[in-house]
Amino acid sequence: MEHPFGEIVETKIKIISMDKYPNEICGFVMNDEFVEMENKAEDTIKDFRIDEKEYIRNKKNIQAIIHSHCDYPHLSKTDMQQQIATALPWGVAFLQKGYYEGMMYFGDQVEPYPLKERQFVHGAWDCYGLLRDYHKIHKGVTIPIYPRDNKWWETSPSMLKDNCEAAGFKYIDESEAVEGDVFFMMLRSKVVNHCGIYLGGEKILHHLYGALSREDQIGRWRKYITDFLRYKG
């Protein structure tokens, strides 16, 4: 995980988030400095809320909105919805049992991270996030974000297919697939719950749940592939 505002900012966030654990911290990056705000949420262990007056008062100077996740190593659907609403980068510091594991930034205002060897953070660095960033980097296309809960396929089984179709992906025959096309998979599931990028030949790029994103040979995964798609806009 990287910190675009430098080590001094991250160190301050690290110290404060560890000190306040298991409560979530929150604040703003302004003028390349982290400014902590009081967490006004009713349940500060599971949520955060910044006084709206503080947000309005500082809005012109806010570079990013920061909070911590304690023993929850993913983004929440609400995180994604609120990031979209503010149109600002959001940074999340992750802690497990009081140990600081690092932080990540998300949102379309953030430059995409390298596509290979990303850590897994559901909601940003996952299979759909990889799909979005590949298209942004290699095709100059911004695929819509869709806010989603962790393990969405258990409650909304058609979400991945529905959102890719709505975004402008069209089904193609496997024989037509070329570098940059997309595939769907069913992994330990009766519904489509994984996607990735076909790199041509026998190679794919994908991001499995809980693993680093990686390039793989298609052979061992072919039996799980259900469809190939191409972005048509």
pLDDT exceeds cutoff 90 at 3: no
- pLDDT, position 169: 98
Cα distance between residue 94 and residue 75, in whole Å: 10
Average pLDDT over residues 201-216: 97
Taking phi first (over 0 means left), then psi (-120 to 50 degrees means alpha), and beta for anything else, what does residue 184 get?
beta
225 — pLDDT class (breaks 50, 70, 90)? very high
Task: Provide DSSP, 133-190.
Answer: HHHHHHH---PPP----TTGGGT-TTHHHHHHHHHTEEEE-GGG--TT-EEEE-SSSS
Strand partners of residue 182? 197, 229
Task: Provide DSSP, 197-230.
Answer: EEEETTEEEE--TTS--EEEESGGGGGGEEEEEE
Cα dist. 78→37, 67, 148, 232 in Å? Answer: 19, 13, 8, 30
Find all residues with CB under 8 Å of 208, minimum gap 6, and list them. Answer: 120, 127, 187, 194
Q: Work out how many domains the chain is built from and give that number.
A: 2
148: domain CATH number? 3.90.1720.10
Cα distance between residue 192 and residue 126, in whole Å: 15
Average pLDDT for the chain: 96
pLDDT exceeds cutoff 80 at 18: yes
pLDDT exceeds cutoff 80 at 26: yes
- pLDDT, position 1: 61
pLDDT exceeds cutoff 80 at 128: yes
pTM beyond 0.75, yes or no: yes
Q: What is the pLDDT of residues 135-160, one digit of tens each?
A: 999 999 999 999 999 999 999 999 99
- Structural domain of 22: 7-106
Domain boundary among 52, 76, 106: 106
Flag whether 221 is in a domain. Answer: yes
Are 131 and 97 found together in one domain?
Answer: no
- The tokens for 71 are 């023993």
pLDDT exceeds cutoff 90 at 121: yes
Strand partners of residue 206? 196, 214
Query: What size, in residues, is the chain?
Result: 233
pLDDT exceeds cutoff 70 at 2: no
Are 165 and 208 found together in one domain?
Answer: yes
Cα distance between residue 211 and residue 135, in whole Å: 21
Are 90 and 162 found together in one domain?
Answer: no
- pLDDT, position 233: 87
Cα distance between residue 104 and residue 42, in whole Å: 25
pLDDT exceeds cutoff 70 at 115: yes
pLDDT exceeds cutoff 80 at 194: yes
Flag whether 212 is in a domain. Answer: yes
Cα distance between residue 157 and residue 151, in whole Å: 10
Flag whether 208 is in a domain. Answer: yes
Q: What percent of the chain has pLDDT above 90?
A: 96
Are 169 and 91 found together in one domain?
Answer: no
Flag whether 116 is in a domain. Answer: no
Domain boundary among 45, 75, 106: 106
Flag whether 65 is in a domain. Answer: yes
85: domain CATH number? 3.40.140.10
